[in-house]
Amino acid sequence: MPLKKPHLEFERLDMTKGWATPDGYPDGIKQKILASSLDEKSKSGCRTRLLRFDPGTYTTAPFVHDHWEEVYLVSGDLIVGNDKNGNGGEAFDGAVYACRPPGVLHGPFKSERGCLLFEIHYYDTAAVR
């Protein structure tokens, strides 16, 4: 039976607290989990989070995971496809969205001015039919 996220009714977010660097990410990238039942071991559940890049922060290698991912750029700029030194890539700002199925390589990522992303991650076998 799939795990369910909690029911939350317009919880006030303290945007100054509760941020942590996800495993394998550089220090300039922080996440704030909004709601989660994601269990990567049992490959079930879902997670909603905010992901924040400090200005000038970049990753050095593409990412791949075994769950769906939806990403919306809330504010700032995001560069996709930079090299391991943070150079190059395609720049985005404004309202952009990505929806990635499991197993898709994406990134590396960089932000010149800093950015805030809204992300949803989930295991959903019905979505791949």
Q: Is residue 5 part of a domain?
A: no
Q: Give the type of residue at 98.
A: A
Q: Is residue 8 part of a domain?
A: no
Q: Is residue 105 part of a domain?
A: yes
The structure tokens listed for 96 are 């952009």
Coil/strand/helix, residue 96: coil
Q: How many domains does the chain have?
A: 1
Q: Which of 74, 30, 22, 80 is nearest to 53 (CA)?
A: 30
φ, ψ of residue 126 to 5 degrees: the values are: -65, -30
The structure tokens listed for 121 are 């991650």
**What is the pLDDT at residue 5?**
85
**What is the pLDDT at residue 4?**
78
**What is the pLDDT at residue 125?**
60
Q: Which of 62, 66, 64, 57 is nearest to 111 (CA)?
A: 57
Low-confidence spans in the chain with pLDDT less than 70 = 1-3, 125-129
CATH number, domain at 118? 2.60.120.10
Q: Is residue 7 part of a domain?
A: no
**What is the pLDDT at residue 128?**
43
Coil/strand/helix, residue 14: coil
pLDDT in tens, 46-82: 999 999 999 999 999 999 999 999 999 999 999 999 9
With residue 117 as reference, give the H or E element that holds it.
Answer: strand 115-122
Q: Is residue 14 part of a domain?
A: no
For residue 109, the cross-strand partners are 80
Q: Is residue 13 part of a domain?
A: no
CB of 80 within 8 A of CB of 7? no
- Structural domain boundaries enclosing 112: 29-128
